[in-house]
Amino acid sequence: MRRLIAAIISLLFFLMLITVLNTETEDKAGIPAYGDADLSSRVSERFVTKSVNGYDGEIVYGVTSDAETGSANLVTSIVVNYRSFDTLGEVTVLFISATGVGLLLGGGKKRIVEEIKVSPVARLASRIVTPLLLTLGIYVFIHGHLTPGGGFPGGAIIAAAFLLMMLTDEKRRAPSKLKILEGYMGLTYVLLGVAGLLISGSFLQNFLPSGTIGELLSGGLVPVVYSVIGLKVGAELSGILDDLACEGSDES
């Protein structure tokens, strides 16, 4: 009976949500049909042409220098330049949830002992793969302004390397310095914002030269902020994994 009512309610929700689709007409704003989005009527066009402050030239890869934001990856230019304040809030949410997990489950001194024994082959292989994964993670967040990726995927890859270490070694714990690194990286992000406030007059505004689009040393603050975020997210997710693996194991 409960399942039937739930099915009816979710079906009604589905029908209600369907009515929202394809509602954009000439005189009324709405959700456009799939594939028919019109960038020229959206704010995103200014993000693509990097003309929020009025610059009206064409952005060319490897040629344009000192553009509004020097990041070749347009998503990154939005995430850590135009909407960097948003990202600061996002990092704060992640920090609070990591702290909450630590508060709820913390106190475990030892890892929970698992019955499954890891084969020596897997252990040795993981020791080879882990440094490669760490390098890949660092590569992904350093090149966040040039290629797909950035601080959050890079941090997740670093946490995956840590998870691999934890799965193959029963005694492995997160180093306690990770919490210190996490806190300092959060502080660095805020300090970069305050530096932007003091130098350029607006919180988190770019104050470094933005360079030529497509070079590694370009984008001004973008690679700096993304490296900070990458280290912070990597440390945070590793801390969550460590908390989950050690929850209250000294009680029993």
Partner 1 sequence: MIQYFSMLLIAIGIYGLLSQRNLVKLVISLNIAEIGVNLFIVSIGYIEDGLVPIISSVNRTSSLVFVDPLPQALVLTSIVIGVGVTALALALIITIGKTKGSIDLTELGSSGGDDE
Applying CB under 8 A, the residues found at the interface with partner 1 are 2-3, 5-7, 9-11, 13-14, 17-18, 21, 31-32, 34-37, 39, 42-44, 47-50, 58-62, 72-75, 77-79, 83, 86-87, 90, 93-94, 96-98, 100-101, 104-105, 146-148, 150, 152, 213-214, 233, 237, 240, 243-244, 247-248
Q: Cα separation of 231 and 224, whole Å? A: 11
212 DSSP β-pair partners: 65
Q: CA triplet 146, 66, 50: central angle to 5 degrees?
A: 65
Least distance CB 243 / partner 1 (angstroms): 7
Nearer to partner 1, 21 or 216 (CB): 21
Least distance CB 60 / partner 1 (angstroms): 5
Q: Which amino acid is at 31?
A: I
Q: Cα separation of 237 and 41, whole Å? A: 39
Least distance CB 65 / partner 1 (angstroms): 13
User: Is the CB of residue 89 less than 8 Å from the CB of residue 230?
Assistant: no
Nearer to partner 1, 94 or 185 (CB): 94
Q: Which amino acid is at 87?
A: T
Least distance CB 144 / partner 1 (angstroms): 11
Nearer to partner 1, 42 or 127 (CB): 42
User: Is the CB of residue 195 less than 8 Å from the CB of residue 122?
Assistant: no
Nearer to partner 1, 25 or 117 (CB): 25
Cβ neighbours for 218, distance < 8 A, ≥ 6 positions apart: 70, 71, 72, 145, 210, 211, 212
Nearer to partner 1, 195 or 205 (CB): 205
HSE-CB of 149 using CA atoms within 13 angstroms: 18
Least distance CB 85 / partner 1 (angstroms): 12
Nearer to partner 1, 77 or 168 (CB): 77
Least distance CB 213 / partner 1 (angstroms): 6
Nearer to partner 1, 83 or 173 (CB): 83
Least distance CB 160 / partner 1 (angstroms): 13
Burial of 83 (0-12, 13-18, 19+ CB in 10 A): middle
Q: Cα separation of 152 and 144, whole Å? A: 10
Q: Cα separation of 237 and 209, whole Å? A: 32
